[in-house]
Structure 1
Amino acid sequence: MGRTADALHEVFGVPVAPATVACWFKRSALGIIEQVLPVIRDRIAAAAVVHFDETGMRTNSRLAWLHSASTATDVLLSARPKRGTAAMDAAGVLPAFAGIAVHDAWAPYDTYTDVTHALCNAHVLRELVYVTDTATGEVADLAAQAINALTGLWHLVTAARGEGREPDPVTIGEQQHLLRSAVVLGAQATAARSGKLQRKHRALFLRLQNRRDDYLRFVTDPQVPFDNNAAEQTIRMPKLRIKVSGCMRTLTGAEHFAATRSYTPARSSRSVRPACGSDVRSCR
């Protein structure tokens, strides 16, 4: 608030108190909460594909949570004292949503049974890379095979649709077979679950096996993206704000901040690592 007041003074030559800026901010946030957020919420709930994510936000010296729901045109951020289904129910999107929800493999999302789920492949690629870094022998080789198959599928799908055609079913089937065999053999190779690390590796292979359709939904449905980077870009600026300016002093202030960011989300031009198989997306 102080920096904003200083900027206004410098630009317009009129002294403005930080408390005045805070009053303006509160007044505008309340208007957004009452009049604008219900419209955004309904638009997102009616969309075909929505990106969901959540992140911690220090508030009043405690850990609160910022939940996001976004499409190509709308963003809804909500600050809540707790993380989980209660917070997502309070946000109001998922209880009314019946489309395709793109998210990571966080379990509370799966409680919404009317939703078609699409899991983020960038997340699972990072987990597979972790396996190659921490495992040896067959397990590491199978994780590498899964990485190559998954990125291979993305490149095949992207190239085909970029040329206005459907991916070749034969080559798609070959990569899907390589992925399937990697995760099945990986689950068998870690069946002993000897140690915490191997149990973690086995859980990953089993998740890839059991939720194969959710991870590969981008192959069969052109409107489903490979990853959930759009949601991560939506929460990038709030994380940067905490890093630069510190924690929010009150939960009410965090709610006002989330409402304002829902109304005026900035576009992102930051590129994503090619290893994640993603193109550049904006948060609006």
Structure 2
Amino acid sequence: MELVSPCLKANNSSKPPSSDGLRKPTNLRQSGGKKEAPKGHDGHTLRLSPSPDEIIVHSVSTCNHCAQSLDTVAAQGCIKRQVFDLPLPRLVVTEHRAEEKCCPACHTRQRAAFPNRVQAPVQYGEGFIAWTAYLNVYQLLPLDRISRLFSDLTGYAPSEATLLAQLKTMASAVADQEPVIRAHLRKQPLIHSDETPMRMNGKQQYLHTHSNADWTLLTLHERRCGPAFIDMDVLPSYTGIVVHDCLNSYFKPEYKFTHALCNAHLLRECQGIAEHDRHRWASDMKELVQSSWVLAKEARAAGVTLSDKVLTEIDLRFDAILAQGKTEWAKDVVREKTGPRGRKCKSKAANLGQRFELHKASILRFLYDAHVPFDNNRAERDIRMSKVKQKISGCFRTAIGGQQFASIRGFISTLLKQQLPLHASLVSVLRGQFQFRTT
């Protein structure tokens, strides 16, 4: 049995596909796209509302058959049809009046205090700030288009400086929730981690994520590994399972978590080695990993574990393929190492084969633990759309702006995962009244 692997991309996920040069593996995605909703999906079909806001009765006044008047005839029933429409939003202007009084005892003038969130004679409220954050960070609209949208809907067009100030306000409020997200991620039995390069004022930064089905933490950092992991403050004390893409920094001895590698990445690299280097072992390994995943899925669906016999067969086949591979990649042409330092140069096939050999347990962990996924798609989905942001805007202009984007997007992602009301939650966090459902 063989699965079709996920969409192929660059062999190194931190680089664009164009960087593969002539070694781009063939895309194995089947043409045609999705034809229908996944099995078990509830769908989103509109259903009749039991409490419509307006009811319009269409009466029958004349019989179409004999032209008899029906104005005085009582209706025996009716057929309902409902139209769901979205009216133009209307601005609600709230005026705050602080009373002033003169003390009769000391004759000093006293004035009531305004709420902390009311700072100026005229300003936009939390609802405006929440929509600005959602449209810019989640829907990825540029500030100019957000201003035009507000103008079209309400007649008011906030300036770019006003919108930037609103994003700063939202990021400051959201930052208070990040310790909660970190604390919950540390308690999870399994999390996903990934990173992707982002541009900040012409310099390369990295967007990092730690996440699972309920929580998302995003951080923009100048480093790809070590210091970034420390600043995010999850992995240094984490003791569960981390699914990742085999970046060396995850394997530091001071980390106590268990590793599970993304097999989708390994399949793509096997495909590339098989196509460009004509190595049989790479094709065999790809087939073995795919068929093993099919067996694991069937066992999970049946609520059972794989038998010791099956696990032993997979284990022995895995070792036999690598033994075969050693004879193949030993014949690869490798450029001479320049300079006295560093390791001896190896071929791409040798590097991949030795990764399979070194991390065998982490690669096959999905066979032994039903909670371990086959790939790292969870983390990749949580950071994928941020690349679209970069395509739209080019880059972040400041490190502060990039971190604000990461904080707000991670918070919104968590809201959506926990199915919390989006706009109401954003307004609530601005007012300091927000709590996650699971806290």
TM-score bucket of the superposed structures, by smaller chain: 0.7 to 0.9
Shift in Å, 1:184: 2.3
Q: Who is 1:263 aligned against?
A: 411
CA distance in 2, matches of 1:5, 1:41: 34
Q: Who is 1:188 aligned against?
A: 327
Q: Who is 2:155 aligned against?
A: 13
2:189 is aligned, of 27, 48, 66, to 48
Q: Who is 2:261 aligned against?
A: 119
8 Å contact from structure 2 (residues 201, 397) kept in 1: yes
| 1:222 counterpart SS class | coil
**AA partner of residue 72 (structure 1):** A
Q: Who is 2:315 aligned against?
A: 176
CA distance in 1, matches of 2:299, 2:229: 36
Structure 1 or 2: more helix by fraction: 1
Q: Percent identity?
A: 31
8 Å contact from structure 2 (residues 237, 255) kept in 1: no
CA distance in 1, matches of 2:222, 2:329: 38
Are 1:216 and 2:364 counterparts?
A: yes
8 Å contact from structure 1 (residues 184, 209) kept in 2: no
Cα deviations by residue, 1:37-87 (Å, 9 ceiling, x for unpaired): 111111111211010001111001111111111011000010112222011
- Which one has a bigger Cα radius of gyration? 2
| 2:177 counterpart SS class | helix
Q: Who is 1:149 aligned against?
A: 288
User: What is the correspondence of 1:61-72 to structure 2 with a 5 Å cutoff?
Assistant: 61-72=202-213
| 2:213 counterpart SS class | coil
Are 1:252 and 2:391 counterparts?
A: no
Are 1:87 and 2:228 counterparts?
A: yes
Shift in Å, 1:14: 2.2
Shift in Å, 1:163: 1.9
Cα deviations by residue, 1:123-145 (Å, 9 ceiling, x for unpaired): 11111111101113xxx211111
8 Å contact from structure 1 (residues 145, 178) kept in 2: no
1:57 is aligned, of 198, 205, 220, to 198
CA distance in 2, matches of 1:179, 1:12: 64
Cα deviations by residue, 1:74-119 (Å, 9 ceiling, x for unpaired): 0001011222201111111111211111101110111143111111
**Larger displacement relative to structure 2 (197-206 or 45-54):** 197-206
Q: Who is 1:273 aligned against?
A: none
Shift in Å, 1:171: 3.2
8 Å contact from structure 2 (residues 235, 255) kept in 1: no
Change (3 A) 1:204 1:187: same
Shift in Å, 1:192: 5.1
Are 1:130 and 2:278 counterparts?
A: no
Cα deviations by residue, 1:135-169 (Å, 9 ceiling, x for unpaired): 13xxx211111011100100000011112222243
| 2:199 counterpart SS class | strand
| 2:386 counterpart SS class | helix
8 Å contact from structure 2 (residues 273, 348) kept in 1: no
Q: Who is 1:205 aligned against?
A: 353
**Larger displacement relative to structure 2 (8-17 or 214-223):** 8-17
| 2:210 counterpart SS class | strand
Q: Which structure ranks higher in relative contact order (CA pairs < 8 Å, sequence separation ≥ 6)?
A: 1
1:29 is aligned, of 171, 185, 190, to 171
**AA partner of residue 224 (structure 1):** V
CA distance in 2, matches of 1:265, 1:221: 27
TM-score (norm: length of structure 1): 0.88
Shift in Å, 1:193: 5.3
**AA partner of residue 26 (structure 1):** K
Shift in Å, 1:211: 1.1
Task: Point out 4+ residue stretches in structure 1 off by more than 4 angstroms.
Answer: none
CA distance in 1, matches of 2:319, 2:391: 41
Cα deviations by residue, 1:211-267 (Å, 9 ceiling, x for unpaired): 110001111011111110111111111111101221000001000000001100286
Shift in Å, 1:13: 2.8
Shift in Å, 1:173: 3.0
Shift in Å, 1:198: 6.0
CA distance in 2, matches of 1:162, 1:10: 51
**AA partner of residue 180 (structure 1):** D
**AA partner of residue 397 (structure 2):** R
| 2:396 counterpart SS class | coil
